[in-house]
Amino acid sequence: MSKPSLEIVQRTELVAGPVDEEEAWEFVRALARAPSPTVGSKITVRTERGETTWEARGGATPEAALVLDLCLPLCVGERASELVVAHLGQSLDGRVAVPPGYPRLITGPEDLRHTHRLRALSDAVIVGATTVAVDDPQLTTRFVPGDLPTRVVLDPRARLSREQRVFSDGQAPSIVIVGRGHRGRSDYGAQVEVVEVPMVDGTLPIGGVLRSLRERGLRRLFVEGGGVTVSRFLDASALDRLHVAVASRIVGTGAPAIQLNGGALGGGVMSHAQSYLLGADVLFDCDLRVSKPRGRGLA
């Protein structure tokens, strides 16, 4: 009776097949929660000189390889527990918003799923007040298995209200950061935590925002948008990584993706970047930890 059983085990191993997208994502989620080798996993991860590589016994499907390539660098390494990552989906002409009456999403469903994965890997997801006012996002992980991050809204002058879903749906904790002295104007609802930060030149300083969140145990942060908010984190040299998905679409008008004020970055930034096909979009994964300020006059 033992011989047939042995044959079944051998046959099962032979047809086990490559790592698929679901297995890759579950591995990444487990690694994000407890950064240590997974016993019995078909995936091996190595980090050397800041570079993360992986190997899968039996190979990996293209969808699984994409998940591992894009997400593993966010979960391993000495700074993984306090990484600040941003994402933008933009058109070919660098727009992140479209005129009224057109489909709101510029990039495709694959990029949307990737955005939800970035949320699930983070302690908190950060957006600006304009994004909430225009898009009324939920900021959940409903398109992928994953934990819900704390939702953080930067609303320096407390102009939003409790009607927005991030304040009223009760799906995840919500924090609003306002400028000092504007708390009395807020009406977000009793379940929303309001945090005051002293403003500098009429804006919320990014350093103050980061300190406030880390004091509350929120260390791995995802800056989702919009373009102004991502630009301010980039201009403050506060991002470790930036994902930019570019759709093969020209909008012609609307809000620009990135605008720098020439702060700590001077004339711009050069990053170590790799590109990936994400459905019909092209995603650029920019590692800003190895970036260098771009001098004037350089091509």
**pLDDT surpasses 70 at 265:** no
State the average pLDDT over residues 151-180: 96
pLDDT value at residue 2: 45
Does residue 279 have a cis bond before it (omega within 30 degrees)? no
Which amino acid would we find at residue 21? E
Nearest alpha carbon to residue 58 among 10, 19, 8: 19
Find all residues with CB under 8 Å of 228, minimum gap 6, and list them. 128, 130, 255, 259
Strands of 193-197's sheet in order across: 193-197, 174-179, 150-154, 124-128, 221-225, 84-90, 241-246, 281-293, 269-278
pLDDT tens-digit readout, 190-220: 999 999 999 999 999 999 999 999 999 999 9
Among 130, 111, 8, 25, which Cα is nearest to 67's?
A: 25
Predicted confidence at residue 207, as pLDDT, reads 97
Locate the DSSP E strands across 174-236: 174-179, 193-197, 221-225
Q: Check if the beta carbon of residue 192 is closer than 8 Å to that of residue 183.
A: no
Q: What is the pLDDT of residue 262?
A: 62
In three-state secondary structure terms, 121 is coil
Task: Compute φ and ψ for 63, nearest 5 degrees.
Answer: -65, -40
Contact (CB, 8 A) for 142 and 130: no
Output DSSP code: residue 102.
S
CB 268 within 8 A of CB 293: yes
pLDDT score recorded for residue 248: 94
Q: b or e along 140-162 (b: 16 or more beta carbons within 10 Å of the residue's beta carbon)?
A: bbeebebebbbbbbbbbebebee
Q: What confidence tier does 279 reach under pLDDT thresholds 50, 70, 90?
A: very high
Asked whether residue 8 carries a pLDDT value surpassing 50, the answer given is no
- The SS3 call for residue 117 is helix
**Which positions ≥6 away from 69 have C-beta within 8 Å?**
54, 274, 276, 285
Confidence of residue 36 (pLDDT cuts 50, 70, 90): low
Chain centre to alpha carbon of residue 133:
20
| AA letter at 239 | L
Q: Rounded to an integer, what distance in angstroms lies between the CA atom of residue 190 and that of residue 61? A: 47
Question: pLDDT at residue 278 above 90?
Answer: yes
Beta-ladder partners of 64 = none
Token pair of 27 as six digits: 């591995």
Q: How confident is the model at residue 293 (pLDDT cuts 50, 70, 90)?
A: very low
pLDDT tens track for 39-83: 557 899 988 877 889 999 899 999 999 999 999 999 988 789 999
Which domains does the chain possess? 1-78 (no CATH), 81-293 (3.40.430.10)
Mean pLDDT of the 91-120 span: 90
Average pLDDT of span 156-179: 96
| Per-residue model confidence as pLDDT tens digits over 218-232 | 999 999 989 999 999
Helices 109-120 and 62-71, axial angle in degrees (round to 10): 40
Predicted pLDDT of residue 98: 76
pLDDT at 267: 54
**Cα–Cα distance between 70 and 104 in angstroms, integer?**
25
